[in-house]
């Protein structure tokens, strides 16, 4: 079983991965618990291509799929996932422009995980407190 993953990619600084010269909110990359990886184009003007096919909605990626954003910005999705899974390990995948923001991606992802855990704990404490009032 794989870790779930959800990342937003675009030129806007609020994204998990910031890449210049693409739409502000360009793409979402996510992985389900079974390890299937999907991308979704967010109705961009500049477009997203998987291999040579324009992406209009979302698609499950295969190992050999190549993703391009806007004109010809290669998006190395395999490296992003590898760095997310192994934060301290050097990647075997060839470097791309997305490397510059990989540390920020990992920090935001970890922060998001901690926030989700804190919310779950708070909900459990609240439920236990309510049960205590009821008894």
> What is the residue-level pLDDT of the chain in tens, covering all 135 positions?
567 889 999 999 999 888 888 999 999 999 998 889 999 999 999 899 999 899 988 999 999 999 999 878 899 999 988 888 877 655 444 434 444 444 444 445 556 667 778 888 888 888 888 888 877
User: At 49, which CATH number?
Assistant: 2.60.200.20
Three-class secondary structure of residue 22 per DSSP: coil
pLDDT for the residue 27: 93
- Give the domain range for residue 126: 5-134
The two structure tokens encoding residue 115:
């926030």
Number of Cβ atoms within 10 Å of the Cβ of 91: 16
Three-class secondary structure of residue 28 per DSSP: strand
Count of CA atoms in the C-beta half-sphere (13 A) of 58: 12
> At residue 62, what are phi and psi to the nearest 5 degrees?
-105, 160
pLDDT for the residue 105: 46
The H or E element containing residue 40 is strand 37-41
- Number of domains the chain contains: 1
> Angle at the Cα of 105 (from 104 to 106), degrees rounded to 5?
90
pLDDT for the residue 94: 40
């Amino acid at each position: 079983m794989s870790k779930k993953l959800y990342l937003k990619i675009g030129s806007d600084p609020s994204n998990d991965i910031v890449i210049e010269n693409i739409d502000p909110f360009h793409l979402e990359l996510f992985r389900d618990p079974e390890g299937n990886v999907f991308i979704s184009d967010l109705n961009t003007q500049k477009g997203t291509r998987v291999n040579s096919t324009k992406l209009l909605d979302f698609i499950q990626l295969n190992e050999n799929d190549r993703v391009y954003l806007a004109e010809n910005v290669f998006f190395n999705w395999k490296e992003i996932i590898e760095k997310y899974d192994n934060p301290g390990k050097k990647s075997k995948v060839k470097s791309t422009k997305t490397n510059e923001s990989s540390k920020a991606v990992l920090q935001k992802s970890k922060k998001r995980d901690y926030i989700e855990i804190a919310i779950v704990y708070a909900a459990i404490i609240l439920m236990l407190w309510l049960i205590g009032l009821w008894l």
